[in-house]
Amino acid sequence: MKLIPGFLAVLALSGAVSLSAAAAEQPITVLIDQQKLNLSSSSPVKDNDSILVPMRPIFEKLGLELAWDAKTSTVTASKEGLSIKLQIGSKKASVNGTVKSLVSAPRMINNVTYVPLRFVSEATGNQVSWDAKANTVAITSAVDTAVSTKEISALFDKYADYLNNENAKGFVSLIDPQSPLTAIGPQLEEQMAEYDTKTTIEQLNIIDVQKSEATVQTIETSKKLGGAFMLNSKAEYIYSLTRSTGSTQWQISNLQIKAIEYSLPEGTLEAAVSVPKAEEDLINAVVQANFEYTNKENLDGLLSTIDETSPAYTQTKQVYAQMFQVYDLDSAIESSKIIDYTADEASVYLVQTTKKLSGPALPDSRSTTVITLKKSADGKWKLFQSYMLKTEPLKP
């Protein structure tokens, strides 16, 4: 009976030894900016509280050049603005001439020079973290904000230049090939052929920048210079940028429109627009019908005045269906003017008033909009899109 506990203890000890050996055999993985560092057959090793890694791959991956002094067994790793010196067997190192203490000294293992990973990473301005469960060291390269700002500014300089010089291919080259935004190429070429505009980036703010990702806010203006009729605009965008490892070229991966304001090109209201009387009457009639159906809360009638291919058709249907359930409103055209006309497209400058007859709190207002219309194959004019210029409360 006395042998059994001893036997169990031996088994337990054997198991502990086996588990410990298995854990020791698990290689240490080094990730630099989420990419695994290829260390071939020279795996990192633990030395007390330090992890030592082969010198050459870690230094080269971090962008440093190596110099080896065999007489003094000294390694010098350098790049612009940085010089690191370590000596085999010494717990003293220098960074740009300043002496630093090391927890573990560099050493030779199987004729390979090993250096303390944490010191090297931090000396180069990078962040280091250790995942004991995964046996993984993760190094995140430091971001030079000044350099990144310069590179991102260069991207948006090209952005404005390509737009203003109507270089659609150049503009698409600024987009991350993995982004669905690359599909805008053909549409952009069509717009550049139809419109002549000037884009100006009024403000550029870098919200966040990492090694391979950045978020940028811009305030941009677009002004009509010539070509087909269009409104001027001022918009706030949020861009997501990406760049591949080792590249200095940022690319656009996504964007969001946070806000947009429209305005009339200078002289639009004063310009004379030639419109055949019959077409003018048809255009004015469909705009008037749109208001009458709205006041009667006739959704089907309202939708009959809107082009079904309009990008806002479905949203308009939903909004007005909800509005008719909640409010009773009276909308009226205060003034209108056709400010652009072609055989199948027209734009109307419209000032309207909206007064609440019943429903929850809603201030009476005066709105100024530009409505675009399209003429269908059967000769009917229909509303296509509406652009709000301004709105203000009506004075009692």
pLDDT bucket at 255, cuts 50 / 70 / 90: very high
CA–CA distance, 61 with 64 (Å, rounded to integer)? 7
CA 57 to chain centre: 33
Evaluate whether 57 touches 41 at the Cβ level (below 8 Å).
no
Q: Tell me the DSSP string of 163-224.
A: HHTT-HHHHHTTB-TTSGGGGGHHHHHHHHHHEEEEEEEEEEEEEEE-SSEEEEEEEEEEEE
Q: pLDDT tens digits for 327-376?
A: 999 999 999 999 999 999 999 999 999 999 999 999 999 999 999 999 98
Q: Enter the pTM of the model.
A: 0.67
Evaluate whether 75 touches 68 at the Cβ level (below 8 Å).
yes
Is the predicted pLDDT of residue 9 greater than 60, yes or no? no
Residue 65 DSSP code: E
Is the predicted pLDDT of residue 20 greater than 80, yes or no? no
For 373-381, what is the mean pLDDT?
93
Strand partners, 341: 346
pLDDT bucket at 194, cuts 50 / 70 / 90: very high
CA–CA distance, 110 with 152 (Å, rounded to integer)? 45
- Which pLDDT score, from 0 to 100, does residue 45 have? 82
Residue 68 DSSP code: E
Residue of 199, 253, 250, 251 lying closest to 223 (CA atoms): 199
Mean pLDDT, the chain, rounded, equals 86
Domains defined for the chain, CATH in brackets: 26-140 (3.30.457.10), 145-263 (3.10.450.50), 277-393 (3.10.450.50)
Q: pLDDT tens digits for 154-192?
A: 999 999 999 999 999 999 999 999 999 999 999 999 999
Dihedral pair phi/psi, residue 69, rounded to 5° = -105, 105
More confident residue, 181 or 59: 181
More confident residue, 318 or 39: 318
pLDDT bucket at 143, cuts 50 / 70 / 90: low
CA–CA distance, 32 with 58 (Å, rounded to integer)? 9
Is the predicted pLDDT of residue 5 greater than 60, yes or no? no
Is the predicted pLDDT of residue 109 greater than 50, yes or no? yes
- Report which residue type is found at 396: P
Q: Tell me the DSSP string of 250-300.
A: -EEEEEEEEEEEEEPPTTTTTS-----HHHHHHHHHHHHHHHHHHHTT-HH
Is the predicted pLDDT of residue 131 greater than 60, yes or no? yes
- Which pLDDT score, from 0 to 100, does residue 49 have? 73
